[in-house]
Structures are given as C-alpha cells and as structure tokens.
Amino acid sequence: MSAVESPDLEPRAANGVKKRRNSTILNPRSYLTTELWKQAPVLKGSTRFEPLADARNILVTGGAGFIACWFVRHLTLTYPDHYNVISFDKLDYCATLNNTRVLDDSPNFTFEQGDITSPSDIKRVLRKHKIDTVFHFAAQSHVDLSFGNSYQFTNTNVYGTHVLLERAREHGVTKFIHISTDEVYGDVPIGAADLAETSILAPTNPYSASKAAAEMMVSAYRSSFKLPLITVRSNNVYGPHQFPEKIIPKFIMLLQRQSKLLLHGDGSPTRRYVYAGDIVDALDTIFHKGTIGQIYNIASKDEISNTEICHKLLNIFGLPHSTPAELEKWVQHTEDRPFNDQRYATDGTKLSHLGWSPKTSFDEGLKITVDWYWRFGEVWWGDISRVLTSFPVVEGTEIWTKEEHEALPSDSEEGGVEENGTVWMKRALERLNGA
C-alpha cells in the first residue's frame, strides 16, 4: 500500500509523453492515507485567553506551511465557538495540506488556495469570509534559496505583503499581525548586547532584506493609513511539521537515512531557537494582549551553533562522535552560504511583560521533533531525497540537486521542441484570430 494518495504530476510534453527532467515535483495536495494521518499527534499551543469581541473571522496566510499550520490548529481547536479560521495558501513546494487535515471536519476551519501577490485573490477571500483579522505568515522563507532565486523573495515577501496591506486597508480590518524575523536586524557580534525592537534593521541576505523591506511597507501603512498593525520578529523556530529543507529536520532525516550531515562552512554560526508550540503561545498572547502599533521580539535564550546541532542529534541517534574519525563518518563540511550571519540575538523583555516566556527547552523540543520525523518525516511531503542535498534548487514545486540543475540545458536550449512548438502554435492562433 502506498503511504500517500497523489496524482501523477510528472511533467508532460504537449503530446502527453512524459518528459524526464531529473527532478522531484512535490504535490502539496497529496494526502496521507487515513490510517497514517490519524496516527499523527495533534500539535498546537497551550495558551487560552478570553476571546476578543471584535475578532471573529481570521485570515491566516501561509496556513499550510510550518509555523502558520501550528497557529491555525491552535486557533481552530482552542477557540471553536469564537473564531472562524481561514487558512490561505498558494500551496508552494514546502506546503502540505496534511498539516491541517485534522481540521477538515471542523466547522470553524476553511482552506482557500490563493496567492498573496494576486490582488483579486485577496479581495475575494477578504470579502467572502468577512475577514476582520489578518495573520500574515506567507513568505518565501528559506535563506539558502534566496541567494539563487531572489526575485521570487522580493515578489512574495515585499510585493505580496504590499498587496495584503492595500487590500486590508480597502476592506477594513480590526487587526493585522505581520510575522517578521530576527534576521532583519542582521548579524549581532559575539558579546554584543541583545537587540531591542528599536534597533536599526541591517539585513545581510536577500531573504532578510525582503523581510525588512516588507516591514517598511507595514510601517508606512501604519503611519499613512492608521492600519491597525502589529509586527512580530521571531528567532528561529523548529519542531514537527517544518519542511525538511531547514537545518534541524534536514539533519534528522539525513541521520534517519544513515547519511552524513551536510554542514555549511565551519558550522560555527549560532541561532536562537523557539519551539513551535511556544511561538504559537507567543502569537496567541500578542493577538489577545498586544498593543496596536507595536513591534514584539519573540526571543529565546537557547543559542545553539550548527555544530552543536550535529552533536545533539548524533547523541539522540546514539551515534559515537567523540573522536575526529567518528565525527568525520557523520559530518561532512560543505561550501558555506555566500554570506552567513554569525549570530542573531534579540531581547524579549517587551513580550515577557505580556506574560509570555518559552516553556520548552531546546533538548526537550528536539526530542519531540526527532520522534515526529522518525514516524512521519518520510511520508508527510512526498519524496524529499533531493531536498536533503546541499543547496538544492527549487522552481515552483519542482526540486533538483544543485548538480542536476547545473547540468540542465540552458533556457535557450531547453526551449527546444515543446516551447518552440507552443510559440508557433500561439502565433498561428493569433494569425487565425486576425490579431
């Protein structure tokens, strides 16, 4: 029995013959078989507040992705009589409807497929569901990809945010919570003080630059149009349901396959990590107790280097790594990112005044995460083999290893039979139609 129900999505030429492109096409609409998805734990946060009188219909963009799916499950299941949750997602390569399948029978949950860069999609969903509150998570979120595909990051993260803000302004909302990242502050030198929300933004890679640019648009809409905005800047988030392109799930899946961990550069950069269940509680807190116009850091004290992640996972998997020879068996250093911030460090005092602090220690959260990927990591998204390579290349929902992508024919060569055929057909149709 196959673990997933998935339509045949291999690329086909116009004549229906399968084209071999040496790639994987992920289908976010693939459903795990009933027997399997029912075994998955229903993961959400732990907070519950007095529901807000002026919030009823909540749009969550990026709801089939990692962090937003946790938030969608939390809101839908914690406030069933108060909030209607509309998950809005383009279903990009990293998304899967398995992330919210458990909610499909909940009367206060709806999924809408759409693109935040489409003003008409946004207008439609805001009107159809009489949206009063927006949580904006949807983004191109993977730094590694932003070095190769940066236009896509500007388009989704900056223009997409602009479209949402403009449509929200026209429609009128009571609250718009914009999810940003600690990466907008840029590199924080070792020993420097943790950064408060008033610190300047100094992004260093196309992803963080696009998130910082989106924040500028948010700030402009707050000043110009008094849109009721709150911005949230979180540390790195980890936990079950994260697409295994990010370091923690990727390394777990590599060890499960008894493959080497592909560590960028010398492995020394550190990140601070928040467990997914904890960020959901932080967002629930900000939603119910935060002040319009404010920016909140969601900050953890668990600062871990990439090398330490390797060691912690090798410990959990019971793989010896105390000698250089043992370590070499499991860790392979690869080329680094073109630029890799050494560390991010943010100060979470402001949010702590609203009553939030992280509950899950890194070691505890990592163990829960390993357990989940052990059971579901290989079946949740489809074939992730190419995702687990160093610097894979993604176009739409199609994924190559870096080497395979470099070996592809160039655009002009690839145009070949099918593309030229399409161009000729288009021209002939134009002629026939008298254009």
Residues annotated as catalytic are: 182-183, 207
Decide if residue 177 touches ligand NAD (CB under 6 A).
Answer: no
Decide if residue 115 touches ligand NAD (CB under 6 A).
Answer: yes
From CA 93, how far away is CA 24, in angstroms rounded? Answer: 10
Decide if residue 117 touches ligand NAD (CB under 6 A).
Answer: yes
- Alpha helix stretches (DSSP H) within 244-304: 247-256, 276-289
- Alpha helix stretches (DSSP H) within 290-410: 306-316, 324-330, 349-352, 362-376, 402-407
From CA 259, how far away is CA 262, in angstroms rounded? Answer: 9
271 beta partners: 304
CB atoms within 10 A of CB 318: 6
Decide if residue 64 touches ligand NAD (CB under 6 A).
Answer: yes
Decide if residue 382 touches ligand NAD (CB under 6 A).
Answer: no
Decide if residue 92 touches ligand NAD (CB under 6 A).
Answer: yes
Our CB check for ligand NAD shows the closer of 80 and 114 to be 114
Binding-site string for ligand NAD from residue 199 to residue 238, where x marks contact by CB under 6 A and - marks none: ------------x----------------------x-xx-
**Residue 215 Cβ vs ligand NAD, minimum distance, rounded to whole Å:** 11
Decide if residue 94 touches ligand NAD (CB under 6 A).
Answer: yes
Here the tokens at position 272 are 């601070």
Which residue's entry shows tokens 């470099």? Answer: 406
**Residue 113 Cβ vs ligand NAD, minimum distance, rounded to whole Å:** 8
Decide if residue 40 touches ligand NAD (CB under 6 A).
Answer: no
> Long-range pairs for 358-361 at CB < 8 Å and ≥24 separation?
358/274, 358/275, 358/278, 358/300, 358/301, 358/302, 359/46, 359/275, 359/277, 359/278, 359/281, 360/275, 360/277, 360/278, 361/302
- Judge contact between 37 and 31, C-beta under 8 A: yes
Binding residue for ligand NAD, selected from 45, 160, 277, 377, defined by CB under 6 A: 160
**Residue 243 Cβ vs ligand NAD, minimum distance, rounded to whole Å:** 5
**Residue 39 Cβ vs ligand NAD, minimum distance, rounded to whole Å:** 22
Decide if residue 365 touches ligand NAD (CB under 6 A).
Answer: no
**Residue 403 Cβ vs ligand NAD, minimum distance, rounded to whole Å:** 24
From CA 435, how far away is CA 410, in angstroms rounded? Answer: 31
Our CB check for ligand NAD shows the closer of 222 and 246 to be 246
From CA 74, how far away is CA 80, in angstroms rounded? Answer: 10
CA distances 350 to 105, 283, 346, Å, are 38, 13, 11
**Residue 101 Cβ vs ligand NAD, minimum distance, rounded to whole Å:** 14
From the list 29-37, 132-140, 287-295, 406-414, the region that binds ligand NAD by CB under 6 A is 132-140
Site for ligand NAD, residues 300 to 319, rule: CB under 6 A: none
Our CB check for ligand NAD shows the closer of 72 and 370 to be 72
**Residue 421 Cβ vs ligand NAD, minimum distance, rounded to whole Å:** 30
- Judge contact between 389 and 14, C-beta under 8 A: no
Q: What is the DSSP string of 179-209?
A: EEEGGGG----TTPPPBPTTSPP---SHHHH
Decide if residue 67 touches ligand NAD (CB under 6 A).
Answer: yes
If DSSP codes are grouped into helix, strand and coil, which group holds residue 410? coil
Give the residue among 113, 354, 122 at the shortest CA–CA distance from 232.
354
From the list 88-96, 185-193, 261-269, 314-322, the region that binds ligand NAD by CB under 6 A is 88-96
Binding-site string for ligand NAD from residue 235 to residue 264, where x marks contact by CB under 6 A and - marks none: -xx-----x---------------------
Angle in degrees, 0-180, between the axes of helices 276-289 and 66-78, rounded to the nearest 10: 60
What is the contact surface with ligand NAD in residues (CB under 6 A)? 61-62, 64-68, 89-92, 94-95, 115-117, 137-139, 141, 156, 160, 179, 181, 211, 234, 236-237, 243
